[in-house]
Structures are given as C-alpha cells and as structure tokens.
C-alpha cells in the first residue's frame, strides 16, 4: 500500500510523459472523467497533480486548491502548479475563459450581473436583487 510519504518524485516522473516545448508532464496512468490524472493512495483515489504537489512541496493547507498554470488537467509538473483559494480557482477560470457561467450577463430572473448587483459566495456569482427578494419572502413567512 502506498502512502504520500512512500511516493517519491521518481514514481511521478516514471508515470508521466514529457511534452516537448510546453514543459508539461502528462500523467500516463488512469484519469478521471474530467481529465485529471488519478492514482490510488491508502485505498483512496487521489488526484495526481495534488499528489505531485505534496511530494514536491509538502502538505496542502486545508481549504486550498492546486491550480494549473498551463491549464492542462493531466499535467503533474510541480513547476506548473500553484496553491490557490476556491476564489482564486474561479478567477483563474474566468481569466482563461473556461467557466461557462462567466459568459452569462444576467441572473435567471433577468437582473444584470454588474458590479453593483453582484456578490460572490463560495466561488459563485449571485444577484443582490434576487437575494433581497428571498430575504423579504422568508421574513414574511416567519411572521
């Protein structure tokens, strides 16, 4: 049985394929349905890029994500990985035009997503006008 301590950099490099000119190391073992490399550690499937980060840099702080500079989900090169919060992850997706919801210009009730009418919660945009309406409805029900 492998543990993070027993996995060394050689294991990561032996099971990854270097891509010329990009610097990416593509994970060659199994991958998830979203394209991320994965491996079994302590009877649990772990994402290969997270394991690669832990081997190179130590434990990942609680609540932090490992983001890809290269935008290649199966890349395990530690120099292409960096720590980020869930918000950093969303901002990265927005900048790189990967997020479907960032293309939306208004909420489902037609209110615009602009600076005055938008707030972020758990990495997602929400409409302030809709939130106010929900609070008013909720208060009227409890009276």
The Cα 114–Cα 97 span in angstroms is 18
* pLDDT for residue 1: 44
> Are 84 and 69 contacting, i.e. CB atoms less than 8 angstroms apart?
no
Kindly list the averaged pLDDT for each block of 10 residues, start to end, along the chain of length 143.
59 85 90 86 86 90 92 90 90 77 81 89 85 91 80
* pLDDT for residue 31: 85
The Cα 69–Cα 80 span in angstroms is 5
Residues 6+ apart with CB under 8 A from 54: 4, 60
For 123, the token pair is 């990495």
pLDDT by residue (tens digit) across 65-103? 999 998 888 899 999 999 999 888 888 887 877 776 667
The Cα 124–Cα 118 span in angstroms is 10
The Cα 131–Cα 143 span in angstroms is 19
Number of helices and strands (H, E) in the chain?
4, 8
């Amino acid at each position: 049985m492998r543990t993070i301590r027993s996995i060394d950099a050689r294991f990561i490099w032996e099971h990854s394929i270097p891509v010329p000119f990009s610097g990416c190391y593509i994970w060659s073992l199994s991958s998830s349905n979203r394209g991320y490399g994965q491996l079994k550690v302590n009877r649990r499937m772990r994402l290969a890029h997270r394991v690669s980060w832990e081997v190179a840099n130590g434990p990942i702080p609680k609540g932090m994500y490992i983001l890809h500079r290269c935008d290649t989900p199966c890349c395990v090169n530690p120099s292409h990985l960096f720590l980020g919060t869930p918000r950093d992850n969303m901002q990265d997706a927005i900048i790189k035009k990967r997020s479907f919801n960032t293309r939306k210009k208004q909420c489902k009730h037609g209110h615009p997503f602009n600076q005055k009418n938008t707030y972020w919660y758990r990495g997602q945009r929400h409409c302030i006008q809709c939130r106010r309406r929900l609070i008013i409805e909720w208060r009227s029900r409890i009276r």
